[in-house]
């Protein structure tokens, strides 16, 4: 071997570890991005706890359960999981030791994640996450409901574990958006109504129940179809993309669990992926809603009530506590402050979210490290049940919103439920 060729071979061999390391780093970085797309940190991190160490309480109809430690700690986390073990848990809801996971873990959605993305996620959780030794907490579900074997039957009936397949009649952006919404984004876990067995009533757009909204953990997750009043029918693609990036648009602002989604997930996604998600969502036909006439703004009657609030209990509360942010016209200063006139959450017949956000306020939206300047304050200790019912009834009737009244008993019930959950 001549000297030149020998030197070349030696240099190439010495470069191999560096090339491999760079490839590994890129894979871990891609896995980190995908973990953000899946908002894994939100469920697998308790308040003030360490990232991905679990312990977050989640409410189910049978009792509270607690998210698990998914750091690479070998004793309390997933450090001993092989890649096959990891895929099995993600797609089929079965842990390494064989026990079934509760479907609060959105494995029916993660089943659609392709092999390449699953490989990158595994690389990230094994190499990009700090191990934390923190034992998992048992659920509060009592025997016999805490037995796991019925979940095997649940999976047989409700789990479709096929990886997402591109629709040949749709373009690249639509398919990318569908893949993200249905898979890692697991949007249906909150935004699709659930059946008697806690199953999502639909897993994709082939059913008109998909993404029509549903109650989960004392919030109503909004309708994401093209429904004119309570859905995204009046939103443009740009409105949807703006909301996913910032948590606010000219139509509504994020609250409840969606705040965490914006803070930890969608704002970190690429503009192309966010645009693809908006493209897919805006393609969904109208479904759900109340079936009422299309919303049209009209402030006349409401302005009269607000000029003479003594005649209306709800108007009195509104002028004292709400008007300085949301305005006489109900349009506020969107997107900085949420409008109430025509807001899909206000028009929704289920008032769960409106009651909850009035009682308990919102956590800060933090965009690019900067908290939003005007979060919704909590009024649980300021207003009684009747006052909250009065002001929400006023808002839901105002500016031609035409939504049903709210009763004091509804407020009392949710006040008790949210206090118990804390």
The residue assigned the tokens 């450090």 is: 79
According to the model, what pLDDT value does residue 16 have?
A: 44
**Of 62-66, 103-107, 300-304, where does mean pLDDT reach its minimum?**
62-66
Q: Is 43 annotated as a binding residue?
A: yes
131-141 pLDDT, tens digit each: 999 999 888 77
* Helix, strand or coil, per DSSP, at residue 227: coil
Q: How far apart are CA 293 and CA 268, in angstroms?
A: 37
Task: Work out the mean pLDDT of the chain and round it to a whole number.
Answer: 92
322-362 pLDDT, tens digit each: 999 999 999 999 999 999 999 999 999 999 999 999 999 99
Overall average pLDDT of the 61-74 stretch: 90
DSSP letter at 18 equals: H
pLDDT at 281 exceeding the cut of 90: yes
Q: Is 186 annotated as a binding residue?
A: no
The share of the chain scoring above pLDDT 90, in percent, equals 80
Q: Is 88 annotated as a binding residue?
A: no
CA distances (Å), 189 to each of 104, 193, 199, 200, 224, in order?
Answer: 8, 8, 9, 7, 13
Q: Is 48 annotated as a binding residue?
A: no
pLDDT at 9 exceeding the cut of 50: no
For residue 65, report the phi and psi dihedrals to the nearest 5 degrees.
-125, 165
For residue 367, report the phi and psi dihedrals to the nearest 5 degrees.
-110, 120
Q: Which two tokens stand for residue 206?
A: 């082939």
Q: Is 326 annotated as a binding residue?
A: yes
Name the pLDDT band for 373 (thresholds 50, 70, 90): confident
Q: How far apart are CA 373 and CA 408, in angstroms?
A: 31
17-60 pLDDT, tens digit each: 544 455 599 999 999 999 999 999 999 999 999 999 998 988 77
According to the model, what pLDDT value does residue 59 have?
A: 78
According to the model, what pLDDT value does residue 180 have?
A: 98
pLDDT top residue among 325 and 4: 325
Q: How far apart are CA 366 and CA 319, in angstroms?
A: 29
The residue assigned the tokens 């049903």 is: 404
According to the model, what pLDDT value does residue 14 have?
A: 52
């Amino acid at each position: 071997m001549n000297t030149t060729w020998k030197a070349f071979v030696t240099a190439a061999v010495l470069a191999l570890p560096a090339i491999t390391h760079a490839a590994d780093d890129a894979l871990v970085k891609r896995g980190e991005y995908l973990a953000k797309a899946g908002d894994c940190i939100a469920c697998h991190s308790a308040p003030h706890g360490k990232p991905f160490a679990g312990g977050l309480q989640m409410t189910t109809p049978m009792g509270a359960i607690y998210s698990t430690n998914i750091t690479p700690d070998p004793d309390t986390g997933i450090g001993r999981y092989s890649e096959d073990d990891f895929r099995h848990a993600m797609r089929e809801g079965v842990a390494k030791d064989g026990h079934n996971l509760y479907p609060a873990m959105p494995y029916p959605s993660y089943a659609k994640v392709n092999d390449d993305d699953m490989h990158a996620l595994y690389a990230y959780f094994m190499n990009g996450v700090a191990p934390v030794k923190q034992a998992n907490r048992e659920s509060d579900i009592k025997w016999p409901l805490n037995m796991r074997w019925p979940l095997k039957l649940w999976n047989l009936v409700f789990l479709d574990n096929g990886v997402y397949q591109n629709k040949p009649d749709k373009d690249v952006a639509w398919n990318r958006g569908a893949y993200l919404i249905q898979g890692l984004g697991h949007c249906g876990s909150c935004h699709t109504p659930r059946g008697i067995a806690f199953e999502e009533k639909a897993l994709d757009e082939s059913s008109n129940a998909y993404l029509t909204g549903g109650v989960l953990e004392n919030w109503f997750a909004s309708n994401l179809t093209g429904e004119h009043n309570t859905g995204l029918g009046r939103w443009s693609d740009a409105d949807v993309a703006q909301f996913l990036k910032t948590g606010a648009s000219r139509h509504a602002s994020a609250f409840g669990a969606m705040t965490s989604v914006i803070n930890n997930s969608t704002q970190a996604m690429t503009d192309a992926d966010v645009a693809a998600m908006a493209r897919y969502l805006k393609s969904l036909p109208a479904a759900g809603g109340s079936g009422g006439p299309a919303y049209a703004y009209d402030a006349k009657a409401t302005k009269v009530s607000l000029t003479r609030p003594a005649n209306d209990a709800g108007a009195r509360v509104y002028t004292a506590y709400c008007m300085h942010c949301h305005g006489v016209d109900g349009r506020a200063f969107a997107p900085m402050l949420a409008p109430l006139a025509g807001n899909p959450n206000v028009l929704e017949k289920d008032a769960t979210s409106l009651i909850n956000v009035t009682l308990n306020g919102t956590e800060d939206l933090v965009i690019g490290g900067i908290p939003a300047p005007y979060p919704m304050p909590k009024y649980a200790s300021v207003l009684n049940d009747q006052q909250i019912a009065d002001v929400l009834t006023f808002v839901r009737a105002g500016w031609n919103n035409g939504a049903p009244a709210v009763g004091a008993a509804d407020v009392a019930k949710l006040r008790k439920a949210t206090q118990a959950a804390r």
